[in-house]
């Protein structure tokens, strides 16, 4: 690991000022991703700004019935919060599926938002990777790409986003709050993560000097009946091949409310808008669920190694919606 300076600011203002004035500075939260990348020589900050002492570790009620989650709330604390468990069960389910208890005790909400892909070519500095070194090429295109993305991909990058929590946040229309020396900015979660296009190294809408300070969850009544389902190679905290965050409301046999997002299939948490549109107002049945899933995956761009993901995603969507629909009709 190369040498770096260490700064521990006393407040948010000092933190954003430090990153704005120190070239090559990076914020450090739980460190469960950044420190690994520093060890591999992929991230090479000249200055690490430790924000773990900042007062950003509470979950607070919002006037509209939603929640404001501080960026330094640990994943374990968020998963255990009774308000989150009652009103947004897909969130704790995603967090508990995402990592071991030891990692959840360290990892923060803000860090989870910013974690980088686990593509093996990204981690292997001897491989060509446009995300790590723009213009180098992408060895995953013709290499081992079983775990890679099939939606929103480009010829520059097919890496998949690794987060479980962010898939649930995408389904809930979360809003990310970010602070810099220029002030505070609110970014809808669907705009926060970017698809690769020709610039896969630009992964979020966050400027380099912006600090994530909170995530806001709006009141989403349908989310009280929600599920997070994760399909992976092994049960022991592997990354998702496919995951589904879903909420469903059924009245008199018809879908009156639905939220759906996918993980493991794109470079960002994938909001399944086509499937939602196909479902809303229609019958809540197996055939309707299947048609909606097929509509969402119709644009899949698969490789020989990950072609199975399209059918797997469809089946996982149907299974999750089926489970929710059998919990009882609200009508």
Tens of pLDDT, residues 14-54: 999 999 998 899 999 988 889 989 999 999 999 999 999 99
Separation between Cα atoms, residue 123 and residue 111, nearest integer Å:
18
CA-wise closest residue to 273 among 303, 238, 297, 237: 297
Domain end residue (candidates: 16, 38, 53): 53
Using one digit for the tens of pLDDT, what is the confidence trace for 184-200? 999 999 999 999 999 99
Q: Would 256 be classed as within a structural domain?
A: yes
pLDDT the model gives residue 134: 97
> The domain that contains 31 carries what CATH number?
3.30.43.10
Q: Would 148 be classed as within a structural domain?
A: no
Q: Would 120 be classed as within a structural domain?
A: no
Q: From the CA atom positions of the chain, what is the Rg in Å? A: 20
* Full residue range of the structural domain in which residue 289 is found: 222-325
How many independent structural domains does the chain possess? 2
Q: Would 114 be classed as within a structural domain?
A: no
Displacement of CA 270 from its chain's centroid (Å): 9
pLDDT the model gives residue 101: 87
Q: Would 21 be classed as within a structural domain?
A: yes
pLDDT the model gives residue 100: 87
pLDDT the model gives residue 103: 87
CA-wise closest residue to 98 among 232, 227, 246, 193: 232
pLDDT the model gives residue 328: 58
Q: Which residues make Cβ contacts (< 8 Å) with residue 139, sequence separation at least 6?
A: 121, 127, 128, 129
Q: Strand runs (DSSP E) across 165-240, as ranges?
A: 175-180, 183-188, 211-217, 226-231
Q: Would 32 be classed as within a structural domain?
A: yes
pLDDT the model gives residue 110: 96
Displacement of CA 150 from its chain's centroid (Å): 16
Separation between Cα atoms, residue 98 and residue 104, nearest integer Å:
8
Domain end residue (candidates: 35, 53, 71): 53
Q: Would 101 be classed as within a structural domain?
A: no
Contact indicator for 223, 180 with CB cutoff of 8 Å: no
Q: Which residues of the chain have pLDDT under 70?
A: 1, 328-331
> The domain that contains 299 carries what CATH number?
3.30.390.50
Structure token pair of residue 295: 């509509």
For residue 177, list its beta bridge partners. Answer: 186, 214
> How far from 113 is each of 42, 84, 208, 214, 298, CA to CA, in Å?
18, 17, 14, 11, 27
pLDDT the model gives residue 303: 97
DSSP state of 194: -
CB hemisphere CA count around 213 (13 angstroms): 17
Q: Would 293 be classed as within a structural domain?
A: yes
């Amino acid at each position: 690991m190369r040498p770096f300076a260490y700064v521990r600011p006393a407040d948010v203002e000092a933190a954003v000022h430090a990153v704005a004035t120190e070239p090559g500075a990076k914020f450090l939260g739980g460190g469960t991703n950044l420190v690994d990348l520093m060890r591999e020589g992929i991230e090479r900050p000249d200055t690490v700004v430790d924000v773990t002492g900042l007062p950003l570790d509470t979950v607070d009620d919002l006037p509209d019935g939603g929640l404001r989650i501080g960026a330094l709330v640990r994943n374990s604390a968020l998963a255990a919060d009774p308000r989150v468990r009652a009103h947004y069960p897909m969130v704790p389910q995603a967090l508990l599926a995402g990592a071991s208890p030891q990692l959840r005790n360290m990892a923060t909400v803000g860090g989870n938002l910013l974690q980088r892909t686990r593509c093996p070519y990204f981690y292997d500095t001897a491989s060509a990777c446009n995300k790590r070194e723009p213009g180098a090429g992408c060895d995953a295109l013709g290499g081992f790409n079983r775990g890679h993305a099939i939606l929103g991909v480009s010829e520059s990058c097919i890496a998949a986003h690794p987060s479980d929590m962010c898939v649930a946040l995408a389904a809930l229309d979360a809003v990310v709050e970010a602070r810099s020396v220029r002030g505070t900015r609110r970014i809808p979660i669907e705009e926060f993560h970017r698809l690769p296009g020709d610039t896969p190294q630009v992964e979020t809408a966050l400027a380099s000097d912006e600090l994530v300070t909170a995530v806001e969850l709006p009141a989403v009544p349908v989310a009280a009946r929600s599920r997070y389902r994760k399909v992976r190679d092994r049960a022991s905290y592997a990354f998702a091949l496919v995951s589904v965050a879903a909420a469903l409301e059924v009245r008199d046999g018809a879908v009156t409310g639905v939220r759906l997002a996918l993980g493991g299939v794109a470079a960002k948490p994938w909001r399944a808008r086509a499937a939602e549109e196909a479902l809303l107002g229609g019958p809540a049945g197996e055939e309707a669920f299947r048609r909606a899933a097929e509509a969402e995956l119709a644009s899949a761009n698969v490789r020989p190694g990950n072609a199975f993901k399209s059918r797997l995603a469809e089946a996982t969507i149907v299974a999750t919606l089926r489970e929710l629909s059998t919990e009882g009709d609200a009508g």
